[in-house]
Structure 1
Amino acid sequence: MTISRDTFKERAEEIELYFEFLKNIIEKKASLIFPLPRGAAAEIEREEASISLDLTHTLKANGFLLLYNLVEATATNALDEIHEELERESDGDIGSDHLIEPLMSRSVRRFKVDALSAADLCAHPASRLILRSWLNQDRKDIKDNRNPWFSGNVDALKIRQIAGEYGFSSDTDKAKTKNGGRLVNVKKTRNELAHGHTAFRDCGRNVEIETLCQIKDEVIHYLSEILDNVESYIRDRGYLAKKEVAIVTPIIAGGDSEVTEIASTA
């Protein structure tokens, strides 16, 4: 199991527990019962406090923050694993010119020649230096808390754009995921809360717990299937451009050969 899958599973379980707790509070009209102080007489009644409706609204709003945390963490970790695989490839003979065209263009845009030493420029092919420069720059941005892909703006459209650029599939089972359509709602709600445009209580008041649970299920299914796609992409080395190979068929009578077919291979 990959690190991104482990992190996704751990945070999804955290969210499931939170939503189960929240659903029980709302549907069963739960209250808090406080334990007696140590040494208190057994006949003393324990203190009980109701959970107000306004508090349940605030707790529902928190659910959007948990979901967005899962979305951005999952997408970022998946792309980070692709970069780790590219770094391993760059230790061999792979350079930017071996990548699919959109990735090659991205690596060239991120290339910084002043970040390389004279020894690097003399010792390695330019295409490999371009690839490593891009990967190193993105790693530095992540270390400095500057996400090179996302900054509070992850939704299904953004994931599809990144998938198109990197070359992995963004297709999912629409019946379970609604093609990630709920992610834009999660993103917008999270941003409104984070920037203070909406009060938590008002946000939670506008969504029923059943709807919130449905959003949660669709988001988790969508992210899980995107991870499936990324894992297949890494396994199949989908970041590499296909090479054209000429298949030569000899012409017996004349003793010469002719190219009869051009095949593509990774």
Structure 2
Amino acid sequence: MQISNANLQFAYENFQTRLQEVKNYVVFVKKLADISSPAVSEERYIEKYIDDKLNFSFNLNSLFPIQRRVVDPLQQRTETDNFNWINVLTVEPQSTRTPTRSDFACHKIDRELQKTLRASTYLLLYNLMESTMSESINAIHETIRDENRNLLELSEKLHKVILQSFSKGLTNEKVSEFSRDNADIRDRIFDLGYDKKKLFSGNIDCGVIDEYCKKYDIRISPYKIDSQPLLWNPDKIEDIRKKRNSLAHGSESFAQCGQNMPIDSIDDNLQSVEAVLMGVFNGLNNFLTRQKYLRASQ
């Protein structure tokens, strides 16, 4: 996506970084489901085993920072993982003896733990939506400040948004403060009552996203890759919100949530979240490029 607005570009880059983190986690969880007896083995035990028992020759030139990896201890050779946050250990065996589980200091990742790991994807996906929406909407406010716009230049809808935020922040205490200090409230018109961290509070779904976009007059437009639009399922987005709230408030345990969660549903949820957020960025990009936040541009 080509973005010319610096504030939106900042939000988009953060989104892409967080999205990749979630994708890495999803790949990790799916990888566990494909291994018969997954376990976590510390690298130092693998190296000791190689040195002392099997006399393996090995190459550690491609090590990454985190000193842990997921292995199947019953395999004769370790696999090269495709995660940039898990060690890659290339092993060339010089012994024909097959390693046994007792040769490794492993911590088994049992089914109960895998349920928890699956359920955690709801938290990651919801947090991705909330943080991205907050930074995306904030890009509009930052652009107005960067361009030193005054209230009278803003579109009717954005004018209303600013005044509503200001009225919420103009408490009795603030009124007394401004009066005592003989302060010019025009200096605070854009920031008083506005806090991007408080835009959303555990309630994001497609309905809330549509509501905020209409409030600013942003038109969500599906982003296309090779002429194919990225489409989302509103029911999936709503389910993510509900599951996140159930987990966050303790009304459902992670094990219970993950128990009936098909592994393929994680990809479906991820696809819907990515698609709807790309649609928001696509609409916002058009909104800012055409300066739809200004009254004169309408």
**TM-score, normalised with respect to structure 1:** 0.75
Q: CA deviation at 1:30?
A: 4.4
Give the equivalent residue in structure 1 for 2:136: 78
Distance 1:30 1:221, change over 3 A: farther
Counterpart residue number, 2:161: 106
Runs of at least 5 residues in structure 2 that lack an aligned partner in the other structure:
4-8, 55-101
1:260 corresponds to which residue? none
CA distance in 2, matches of 1:185, 1:240: 36
Report the counterpart of residue 10 of structure 1 in structure 2: 17
Letter of the aligned partner of 2:150 in structure 1?
A: G
Please give the alpha-carbon distance, in whole angstroms, between the structure 2 residues aligned to 1:31 and 1:110. Answer: 51
Partner of residue 220, structure 1? 274
1:1-266 counterparts in 2 under 5 A?
A: 2-32=9-39, 34=41, 35=43, 36=45, 41-42=52-53, 45-89=103-147, 91=148, 94-111=149-166, 112=170, 114=175, 118=182, 120=184, 129=186, 133-138=188-193, 141-142=195-196, 147-172=197-222, 176-178=230-232, 180-242=234-296, 265-266=297-298
Task: Give the counterpart letter for 1:202 in structure 2.
Answer: Q
Amino acid at match of 1:45: D
Preserved CA contact (<8 Å) 1:64 1:189: yes
How far does residue 49 in structure 1 lie from its aligned partner after superposition? 4.7
Gaps of 5+ in 1: 122-128, 243-264
Distance 1:3 1:138, change over 3 A: farther
Q: Is the 8 A contact 1:170 1:229 kept in 2?
A: yes
Q: Which residue of 2 aligns with 1:250?
A: none
C-alpha distance in structure 2 between counterparts of 1:137 and 1:120, whole Å: 12
Number of residue pairs matched?
Answer: 227
Q: How far apart, in 2, do the equivalents of 1:175 and 1:39 lie?
A: 51
**For the Cα contact (< 8 Å) 1:24–1:30, is it kept in 2?**
no
Distance 1:218 1:39 in 2: 45
- Tell me the percent identity: 24
- CA distance in 1 between partners of 2:211 and 2:279 (Å): 16
Provide TM-score, normalisation by structure 2.
Answer: 0.68
CA contact (8 A) 2:222 2:282 kept: no
CA RMSD between the two structures: 2.6
- Going from structure 1 to structure 2, the CA distance change for 1:39 and 1:97 (only over 3 Å counts) comes to closer
Structure 1 residues 198 and 119, CA gap change in structure 2 (3 angstroms):
closer
